[in-house]
Amino acid sequence: MHYRKLGSTDKPQIAFDIKRIYAKYQKYRRDHGMKGEVLDYNMFRSQLQKKDYYVCRNHPVTLKDSLDYGAKPHTVKCYVLCVRKLAASCDVSNILERCGIRLEGLPQGEQICFDEAG
């Protein structure tokens, strides 16, 4: 798995292993013959850090690849994103469901992200 839920129920965040996700995205584009301009990895990370849902980067998170049941948990540096703001920007319902994050019941407009100090 390339992501993991962080934070509390009322202040949900999600950590993404951006390096692995970006590599899989690039492979998907190649495998499906998708054309068009794409940000390179460094520019993608730079743009991500400018988004309002960005919280911090290089946050150590322990992940386990759910597709390989024999895999041992490993710690990677992840990007942490504010779930409420991310969900307002794009459809992440599948990921939130897999993580067990439910957004209903959170007050609208509440600042739910931690600062970088956590």
Is 16 within 8 Å of 78 (Cβ atoms)? Answer: yes
Please indicate, yes or no, if residue 91 is contained in any of the structural domains: yes
Question: Does 43 or 100 have the greater pLDDT score?
Answer: 43
Please indicate, yes or no, if residue 39 is contained in any of the structural domains: yes
pTM, two decimals, is 0.74
The number of folded domains in the chain is 1
Please indicate, yes or no, if residue 111 is contained in any of the structural domains: no
Please indicate, yes or no, if residue 62 is contained in any of the structural domains: yes
Please indicate, yes or no, if residue 82 is contained in any of the structural domains: yes
Please indicate, yes or no, if residue 106 is contained in any of the structural domains: no
pLDDT of residue 73: 81
* Strand (E) or helix (H) holding 60: strand 54-63
Is 82 within 8 Å of 65 (Cβ atoms)? Answer: no
- What's the CA angle centered on 43, arms 75 and 115, to 5 degrees? 55
Range of the domain at 68: 3-99
Question: Does 110 or 48 have the greater pLDDT score?
Answer: 48
- Residue matched to tokens 């509390």: 8
Please indicate, yes or no, if residue 14 is contained in any of the structural domains: yes
Please indicate, yes or no, if residue 7 is contained in any of the structural domains: yes
In whole angstroms, give the CA distance from residue 57 to residue 48.
Answer: 10
Residue 94 has pLDDT above 60, yes or no: yes
